[in-house]
Chain A
Amino acid sequence: MTCGVINLQNKGTIYRVSGPVVTATNIDAKMNELVRVGKEGLFGEVIEIDYDKTIIQVYEDTSLLKPGDEVTTTGMPLSVDLGPGLLGSIYDGVQRPLPKLSQLMGEFIKRGAESPGIDREKKWEFFPLKKKGDKVNFGEAIGYVNENEHTKHFIMSPPNISGEIVEILEKGSYSVEEVLCKLDNGALIKMYQRWPVKVPRPFKDKMIPNVPLVTGKRIIDVLFPLAKGGTAAIPGPFGSGKTVTQQQLAKWSDTKVVVYIGCGERGNEMIDVLTEFPKLVDPVTGGPLMDRTVLIANTSNMPVAAREASIYTGITIAEYYRDMGYDVSLMADSTSRWAEAMREISSRLEEMPGEEGYPAYLSSRLSSFYERAGIVLTLGGKIGSVTVIGAVSPPGGDFSEPVVQNTLRITKTFWALDSNLSQKRHFPSINWLESYSLYYDSLKEWFESKVSIDWDRTRSEAMEILQKEAELQEIVQLVGADALPPDQQFLLEVARMLREIFLQQDSYHEVDEFHSLKRQFSLLNAIIRFSRLGNNAIENGIEIDKILKLESRAEISKVRYRKDFENKIGSINETMSKEFKVLLGEE
């Protein structure tokens, strides 16, 4: 290149191709700008600029690209369409709708196809909330459309636009491309906006999470609860039930919107979600579950750079619904595949590797992703939250590896999946000794005021029994259970009840798969009551065998499957009181 000549180029040529990484020369692109590569105009993102070389990661297969092919800048960073029509959609990692792609190119994903994230033609019934002369703040709603029966989709001014309305359309049916509103400063507001995925959407203030995300899973809600706006990690070796747990959370968590990212995972699992969700009922609204779900499917054999983008695409969509004042939960399955995509790109760039070949920026990328979770006061003055639940797939189930460790440093809830439990078909296979939730203390009050004043006391007692069981197990291994004193033998039996009745939950049983907080508490309370009464009986010299044979004990183990749970648990408690009185000779 000649020195001193400034020559802005928006077209350049390919210099080198190595897998998904393409190097271009003679092009003036900005960092993270989207570029089109080759004759087919494949999408790529600028990830490094080195003297006259611009390094691009391409989101599609690069076969047969060759040096000399054209590269064009677009002037835009990688962005997503945000507007009505997101709910119920299934996208690839860069927000191309998969049903559209299959119309365009059949059953297999070929490259070079382009399709907007949101249908440009579809008309939506717009209801204005503002009128001419009103002031619109950054991110404030000017109206809404009914995205589906249960969701009002607020049309907000983009976070960088405000002013006084000089013109706004009346109630009526419009496509997303039509200008709904003109402001005095010339800014236009349409039904959709575009937002660069790597930039967090702004908000006014972040708040402390103090409302639990109810999941209907007993071990999660009672022992290790997650707060709305919080973060959780689910690490576990393969076959320990990560995906089942994620899918269960996507089904049952009480949020308005669920974003489910299948990042580098199995195609057959995504189809599972796709065929099942439309049939399931949303526990919050009663509509089809798919109506509140946005799916992002970038299976393991789809291009690796798009896998890297899929996480950002997902969280940006989640933030958009948060800005409307909704609670959103985001499941990312699995963040390890995301980290591996970063590693793969990094090694193609010949960067100096950090731990286990991962790039040195692994930790900062992970933390900036999880940091996008939170419960916030939005620019528009509403309260919304994004809860992030990330699965981690550590190699060999080794929790000391970099992705798990870096994730644990940021996330506040840790659900450790245990393959020993899953091999025994104990599901959800969350290990109750290793897991933790740092939100519990701030959520305690909520549980005590909304569910039962005894919440904390009962929970602590259950935790203590489980802890003691682990200690006693070591002794049992050495001397056998018969050698223990009766009260300890009884404790082992109660712990067994806790494990088998309370902690285990059948994801395939219509009643058991979701328990309301009230039910969860009554079930736990019944077991703990049995423990207290039993201990009292043992102190009074009653034989342990007699206690274990009580009718009420057998009944507790079956009550979780019953539709008339509430009535049944009441009668069990009565029976229990009576039976113990009889045992002690009081009646």
Chain B
Amino acid sequence: MVKEYKTITSVTGPLIFLENTENIGYGEYVNINLSDGSLKRGQVLDTSGKRVVVQVFEGTRNIDKNAYVKFSGDVLKIPVSYDMLGRVFSGSGDPLDGGPKVIPEARLDINGLPINPYKRAPPHEFIQTGVSAIDGMNSLIRGQKLPIFSGSGLPHNQLALQIARQATVLDCTESFAVIFVAMGITEEEAKYFISDFEKTGALERGIVFLNLASDPSIERLIVPRIALTTAEFFAFNYDMHMLVIMTDMTNYCEALREIGSAREEVPGRRGYPGYMYTDLASIYERAGRIEGKNGSVTQVPILTMPGDDITHPIPDLSGYITEGQIIVSRDLQRKGIYPPIDVLPSLSRLMSKGIGKDRTREDHKSVSDQLYAAYAEGKDLRGIVSIVGKESLSKSDKLFLDFADDFEKRFVTQNSTENRGIADTLDIGWEILSKLPEDKLLRVSDELIGKYMRRFNNAPDKADQI
């Protein structure tokens, strides 16, 4: 039931207003034919007997009062197909790689539907990313949403690529694919991603959706939804394990704010709309596993914290929805450490479900708790040293101080091409712990110390010191 109108009364920012329409549905998908022959797409945001508000995804440039507006009578649906693997699409889902249009197996509503919490399957499969600071300390689990909180100028893209390249599930040969979603990133960054994907062959098992900085910002509101709809299709129809990397969520939120202010809504904190939590949740909550299905959707959204401020509404609301966060720190970056992941404020809420005996290794939880506690103590001591000097520290305190350096230089640091297995990660952990006095290691049992740590105590460099 397509209805067509030529009654645009006003155009502001990304919105157009129409009058004298009849019975247009909320959320309807809209085509706009411009007088110059071009076509734009949009969606109904508010509808009443008198007036309809439409947000235009491609921006409102060139729209005039003579444009024809076609209401489709349905919500925005995208065509999906297995053949999308290995392709590059625009933010609206059109092919950018010169290939043919997608011949749809199905057309799906981009807003998806909430998973019935009762039918969710508890996530418990460990994903090895090959990055020690993540695998060892804040493990990623299938079906989790674990964002990377970063800042401008930090190597979060490099880290995301490393994860996309290296992510595997131990002892598992099931099919796996990466969906990469760019929102408002520069062409240069996009090239960097795509060339890396091509170089490493990751694109063969991947799909790219690109909305560049020069593309209309409003399109950023639909691109993550298109990507997640595609991911769900692969996960729940083809039993595939999908890793969705979305960068940069900050640009998404800016677009949301833009729409809010164009609609003259009452703004919430820092001008972001009051419904931003709900809106972000409708994206992040689409990660998960479903009872009785083999596939899964795992999300690694990336966001740059404005001014490195973790209390800014974007990281703040994200943190309340996602299952933890990986924090990329400027301090570590300045020290020349890659990946500059600050493990102390980082967290993976699902970690304990996916690690331990039969999953990773029996000592995983204990080692990571002990590394956490010791590193926290070492960092506290750094603060004291800067005031009173190293001399006034006790002998054991000095060991903790050295431990903090060891932890950063030996455990966290690795090359961006190094794919470190979980066993190696844990062994490095034990090795650096072995330099601490045994009676200060309260989080690990004597049994584990005997099994995993003592061998490092006999290492030659330790013997030399004594």
A binding-site residues for B, Cβ under 8 Å: 15-19, 23, 62-69, 90, 98-99, 101-102, 106-110, 237-239, 262, 264, 266-272, 274-275, 297, 299-302, 304, 337, 340-341, 343-344, 347, 350, 353, 356-357, 393, 395-398, 419, 423-425, 476-483, 500, 508, 557
Question: For window 98-117 of chain B, which residues contact chain A by CB distance below 8 Å?
Answer: 111-117
CB B105 to nearest CB in A, in angstroms, measures 18
**Pair B320/A270 contact, Cβ less than 8 Å:** no
A99 B118 Cβ-Cβ under 8 A = yes
Whether a CB of chain A sits under 8 angstroms from the CB of B344 is: yes
- B114 near A108 with CB under 8 A, answer yes
Minimal beta-carbon separation of A62 from chain B (angstroms):
5
B239 within 8 A of A: no
Asked if A347 and B117 sit within 8 Å, CB to CB, the answer is no
Which stretch in B205-213, B245-253, B274-282, B422-430 binds the other chain?
B274-282
Closest to A481 in B: B394
With a cutoff of 8 Å between Cβ atoms, the chain B residues found around residue A267 in the complex are 114-115, 117, 120, 285, 288
Instruction: For A481, list chain B residues within 8 Å (CB).
Output: 394
Chain A residue numbers with a CB within 8 Å of B383 are 477
Known: A238-B316, A267-B288, A395-B317. 11 other contacts (CB 8 A): A19-B26, A62-B27, A63-B26, A65-B25, A67-B24, A108-B116, A110-B113, A238-B320, A300-B277, A395-B269, A398-B311
A199 to chain B, nearest CB (A): 27
Which residues from chain A contact B369 at a C-beta distance below 8 Å? 425
Q: In the complex, A299→B323 CA distance in Å?
A: 13
Which residue numbers of B lie inside 8 Å of A, CB to CB?
22-28, 45-49, 74-75, 111-123, 143-144, 236, 265-269, 273-275, 277-278, 281-282, 284-288, 290-293, 310-313, 316-317, 319-321, 323-325, 344-345, 347, 349-350, 352-353, 369, 372-373, 376, 383-384, 387-388, 392-394, 442-443
- A16/B47 contact (C-beta < 8 A), A98-B117, A268-B123, A301-B281 known: yes
Decide: A268 near B144, CB < 8 A? Known: A18-B26, A477-B384: yes
Are A395 and B373 in contact (CB-based, < 8 A)? no
Please state if B116 and A109 are interface contacts (CB–CB under 8 Å).
yes
Which chain B residue shows the least CB distance to A243? B349
Task: Tell me if B116 and A98 are in contact (CB < 8 A).
Answer: yes
Query: 17 A-B pairs, CB-CB below 8 angstroms?
Result: A19-B275, A64-B27, A90-B117, A102-B119, A106-B119, A107-B236, A107-B292, A109-B115, A267-B285, A267-B288, A268-B288, A272-B353, A304-B278, A341-B278, A347-B266, A350-B266, A483-B392
> How far is B144's CA from A266's CA once the two chains are assembled, in angstroms?
11
- Chain B residues within an 8 Å CB radius of A425: 369, 372-373, 376, 443
- CB-defined contacts of A419 to chain B, threshold 8 Å: 345
Chain B hits for A16, CB < 8 A? 46-49
Most chain B CB inside 10 Å of its own CB: which residue of A270, A395, A477? A395
Report chain A residues within 8 Å CB of B293.
107
Cβ-defined partner of A301 (8 Å) among B143, B282, B316: B282
Chain A residues near B48: list those with CB within 8 A. 15-17, 23, 67
Across the A-B interface, the 10 shortest Cβ-Cβ residue pairs: A396-B311, A16-B48, A300-B281, A108-B113, A301-B285, A63-B27, A17-B26, A98-B118, A238-B319, A64-B25
The answer to whether B25 and A102 have CB atoms under 8 Å apart is no
Give the nearest-CB partner of B391 in chain A.
Answer: A480
Complex-state Cα separation, A480 to B113, whole angstroms: 58
Contact A274-B118, Cβ < 8 Å, known A16-B49, A301-B282, A344-B278:
yes
B373, A67: Cβ atoms under 8 Å? no
- A500 B118 Cβ-Cβ under 8 A: no
- Report A435 CB to chain B, min CB distance, Å: 21
Are the CB atoms of B323 and A268 closer together than 8 Å?
yes
Q: From residue B238, how far is it (CB to closest CB) to chain A in Å?
A: 16
Q: How far is the CA of A340 from the CA of B312 in the complex (A)?
A: 17
Counting chain B CB atoms within 10 Å of each CB, which of A110, A357, A479 scores highest?
Answer: A357
Interchain nearest-CB distance for B213 vs A (Å): 28
**Is B117 a contact partner of A299 (Cβ separation < 8 A)?**
yes
Q: Which residues of A contact B319 (CB under 8 A)?
A: 237-239
Instruction: State whether B25 touches A302 (Cβ < 8 A).
Output: no
Q: Is the CB of A271 within 8 A of B120?
A: yes
Chain A residues with CB below 8 A from B353, complex form: 272
The distance from the CB of A103 to the nearest CB of chain B, in whole angstroms, is: 10
CA distance A300 to B287 in the complex (A): 12
B312 to chain A: which residues have CB within 8 Å? 396
Question: A395 to chain B: which residues have CB within 8 Å?
Answer: 269, 311, 313, 316-317
A302 to B111, CA, bound (A): 12
Q: Point out which of B321, B350, B387 has the most chain A C-beta atoms below 10 A from its C-beta.
A: B321
- For A69, the chain B residues whose CB sits under 8 A away are 23
A109 to B27, CA, bound (A): 18
CB of A562 to closest CB in B, whole Å: 13
Give the docked Cα–Cα distance between A500 and B443 (Å). 11
Chain A residues, CB < 8 A from B49 = 15-16, 67-68
In Å, the complex CA distance between A336 and B166 comes to 38
Contact for A299 among B114, B316, B376, CB less than 8 A? B114
CB proximity of B407 to chain A, nearest CB, Å: 14
Q: Which of B47, B281, B376, B387 contacts A478 (CB 8 A)?
A: B387
Among B28, B277, B443, point to the contact of A340 (Cβ < 8 A). Answer: B277
Contact at B47–A479, with CB atoms within 8 Å? no
B117/A270 in contact, CB under 8 A: yes
Q: Which one of B75, B292, B345, B373 contacts A63 once the chains associate, using CB atoms below 8 Å? A: B75
Using CB atoms, name the residue of chain B closest to A238. B319
Residues of chain B within 8 A (CB-CB) of A275 are: 122
In the bound complex, residues from chain A placing their C-beta under 8 Å from that of B320 are: 238, 393
Query: In the complex, what distance in Å separates the CA atom of A209 from the CA atom of B349?
Result: 36
